Structure 1
Amino acid sequence: MSNRINILQVEPTAYKAMMGLEAYLQSTQVSKSLKHLIKIKTSIINGCAYCVNMHTREARKDGETEQRIYLLSAWRETTIYTEEERTALALTEEVTMIQNHVSNETYLKAERLFGPNLLAQIIMVIVTINAWNRIAITTELPLD
């Protein structure tokens, strides 16, 4: 790994703004468990080792099972996730791989299950972890 820029040191105001998003996410109705699943799944899609490592550790600390963490890469092939989790994971994939757009089917199902406020909060969880992934990957944050 190279020695790349540390945004916290160089642009602390920008980093503080990102932390403001994290503070907002803590105040939402999105459950800790669902936030963990979204953050892990997004980080897997983006190939962000730093974030996969951090968020799987946090999820286990908060009681998430190894099985549910491991099966995130094949979540469509199992029934261990609730309908709400499956819908959020589908939305997570489509928002993260945005070049394919978010399908009406996925969006409408999420809107029906979550309602406008919770859906907006879930979208913000997805968008925020995508931003963190891009920061970690670009700056080559080392694993702890």
Structure 2
Amino acid sequence: MTDRRVHLSRAEPEAYRALDEFSRTVGRIARDNGIEDRLKELLLLHVSQLNGCAFCVRVHVERALAAGSDADEIGQLAVWRESEVFGDRERAALELAESFTFIHREGVSDEVYDRVGAVLTEREYTAVSWLSVSINAFNRVAIAGRYPVRPRSSSTT
């Protein structure tokens, strides 16, 4: 196993800039379609957790906190189905984001589509879908490149 990996964003910056611009466009669409920044960041964080992308988890924890989430919400995110911390709209968005993340299993099943569609508007559904597509792409870039996540403090005890 090698510690050196091709850093896709440096190797092909034009492609990375296009992905970044896509992500910014999706973020604007999400806002315009009624997905507030707090929920957007919780979704991006959760998908990053599911994919095992440490780099993106760090980025989106910071952004979720800045957008108004607290430690309890972030801690409960991994167990949202068992937790009462999240409301129906948030739970629907999390379920849809999970379906997109694990799309290879069964796509977005009719059951999920109907359940989520009963809670989210079409515009919200569209926004969550595109957010999911975007973060899944970023997760793959960071995971494949093994983007490092080092301790914040260099001091040891």
Q: Answer whether TM exceeds 0.5 for this pair.
A: yes
Contact 2:7 2:145 in 1 (8 A): yes
Output one character per residue of 1:8-31: Cα deviation in whole Å (capped at 9) or x when no partner.
222111111111112112312321
Question: Does residue 128 in structure 1 map to residue 129 in structure 2?
Answer: no
Output one character per residue of 1:13-71: Cα deviation in whole Å (capped at 9) or x when no partner.
11111111121123123211111111111111111111111101111122211001011
Structure with greater Cα Rg: 2
Question: Does residue 141 in structure 1 map to residue 141 in structure 2?
Answer: no
In structure 1, C-alpha distance between the alignment counterparts of 2:59 and 2:14, rounded to whole Å: 23
Question: Does residue 43 in structure 1 map to residue 48 in structure 2?
Answer: yes
Taking only the aligned residue pairs, the percentage that are identical comes to 31
Structure number having the greater helix percentage: 1
In structure 2, C-alpha distance between the alignment counterparts of 1:109 and 1:21, rounded to whole Å: 28
Q: Which runs of 5+ in 1 are unaligned?
A: none
Counterparts of 1:34-73 in structure 2, within 5 Å, are 34-73=39-78
* Count of matched residue positions in the alignment of Structure 1 and Structure 2: 144
In structure 2, the partner of 1:92 is 97
In structure 2, C-alpha distance between the alignment counterparts of 1:73 and 1:26, rounded to whole Å: 23
TM-score, with length taken from structure 1:
0.92
TM-score, with length taken from structure 2:
0.85
CA displacement at 1:78 relative to structure 2: 1.1
RMSD over aligned Cα atoms: 1.5
Deviates more, 1:106-115 or 1:52-61: 106-115
In structure 1, the partner of 2:15 is 14
Contact 2:55 2:142 in 1 (8 A): yes
Choose which of 97, 113, 119 in structure 2 pairs with 1:113: 119
